[in-house]
Copies of this chain bind each other. A is one copy, B any other.
Amino acid sequence: MTRIPFDEHARFVRSLLAPLGARPTERVAVADALGRTTASPVESPIDLPPFRNSQMDGLAVRAADVAGAPVELPVVGESAAAPGEPTPLAAGTAVRIMTGAPVPDGADAVVPVEDTEAVDGSGSVRILRARAAGEYVREAGSDLAAGGDVLPAGIRLAPRHLAAAAASGLTELLVRERVRVAVVSTGSELVEPGTPLGPGELPDANGVALRSAVDACGAVVVHAGRVRDDVARLRAELDAAVDAGAELILTSGGISKGAYEVVRELIEPRGAWVGSVAMQPGGPQATGVHRGVPLIAFPGNPVSAQLSFALFVAPSLRAIAGLPPARTERMPLAEGVRSVPGKRQFLRGNRTADGLAMPVGGPGSHLVAALAASELLIVIPESIEALAAGAEVDTVYL
């Protein structure tokens, strides 16, 4: 069995997944596009704002008519935020106007209502303060001119992006298709969670873990299965995954050095790499291709499978979906730790209130409850055998 450095395997998996970055595109309704990623720059077909409108409740006037304020002007009409075209403004008159309402042709300034007073019984208004042309007027296209890009390519859509698309009158957006992933658990000992356990049986935790982790990375699970240690069944399951349109197959279990290693038995004779990565947990790893679809095989221990996904696959899927990389932070250890020289160790832990990295639950790869109680991984480099409390370490948030 070959043992390769962590970084080499990470690089290899990344290169295997790189072609998935060239995504097909699809159109989705703006209302359904939250969290999706734009496939191209999005042009606004209209000016934003679409028409010249008032920034204030007040009076639309000609700036020239109010230059000598205080002045009195007859109020000849009204422009509200409502459909319709206001009557053009004649020189020497004013029109009452609401915030957002169209500014009439002929008017070139708005006097806020607080700078005016009614002239009793006359239907006129007294303008108390001069306003320059353009004041309190929002020109059509002053936010964005028609034909300009309201959204760039490659951004993950947040509410403010959908708002701008809707304001542009768009109903659909061209987004990247989500990466279609299959998740297959292997192991004769595994049963559906909730099934009463016979001797030697375990609930399958990897199915749920990897399916939800794929979801959380902005990809989509198109096939999920579980097979016992039977090569023919595994082959049929992988075929079903490909037939379901999977672009990436993730398996757990069956790649170690034991006697019943179903994934290894199927893929190794067909040229896959099955070996060991200098890391803990998660040493056994494999990569191959099934009917043209990349297959990344993780060990069966749930902690190993989850960490392998987080460290090798999640970075590529997150980048494709426009998600930021996992957060990293350098902090001092809360207590001393030991490690295995030659392997990169990923201890599970939490950040204490004092900003220290506190290991949780020991190094064992079976500690699923301890992993659930952790918020980060503490990275101990290959060269290290022991670190004292207070030593600075890299951490990666889960």
Contact = CB atoms under 8 A, between A and B. Distances in A.
A169 interface: yes
B203 A51 contact: no
Given A34-B216, A163-B206, A166-B205, A46 B197 contact: yes
Contacts of A197: 46, 50, 169
Interface stretch (A92-100, A286-294, A378-386): A92-100
A234 B204 CA distance: 52
A168 B203 contact: yes
Interface in A180-223: 187-189, 193-195, 197-213, 215-216
Interface string A90-114: 0000001011111000000000010
A100 B198 contact: no
A308 interface: no
Interface string A260-299: 1000000000000000000000000000000000000000
Nearest to A150: B369
Interface stretch (A77-85, A121-129, A238-246): A77-85
Nearest to A113: B257
Contacts of A195: 169
Interface in A15-31: 30-31
A160 B204 CA distance: 13
A259 B78 contact: yes
A134 interface: no
Contact of A361 (B113, B143, B166, B361): B143
Nearest to A30: B208
A371 interface: yes
A164 interface: yes
Give the oligomeric copy count.
2
A113 to B, nearest CB: 7
Contacts of A369: 44, 48, 143-144, 148, 150, 164, 167-168
Given A84-B199, A167-B203, A171-B194, A258 B34 contact: no
Given A82-B188, A260-B80, A158 B398 contact: yes
A161 interface: yes
Given A206-B163, A369-B48, A369-B164, A188 B81 contact: yes
A372 B138 contact: no
The SS class assigned to the A binding surface is loop
Given A259-B80, A301-B100, A160 B31 contact: no
Nearest to A44: B369
A48 B160 contact: no
A143 B364 CA distance: 9
B259 A98 contact: yes
A151 interface: yes
Interface in A40-81: 44, 46, 48-51, 53, 55, 57, 78, 80-81
Nearest to A213: B159
B51 A199 contact: yes
Contact of A212 (B34, B83, B200, B361): B34
A143 B208 contact: no
When A and B form their complex, which 3 residue pairs have the shortest distance between CB atoms, in order from nearest?
A163-B209, A164-B372, A98-B258
22 contacts: A50-B201, A80-B259, A81-B260, A81-B300, A83-B201, A86-B200, A98-B260, A142-B364, A143-B361, A143-B367, A143-B370, A148-B369, A150-B369, A158-B212, A161-B372, A166-B203, A166-B204, A166-B205, A169-B193, A169-B203, A171-B193, A171-B194
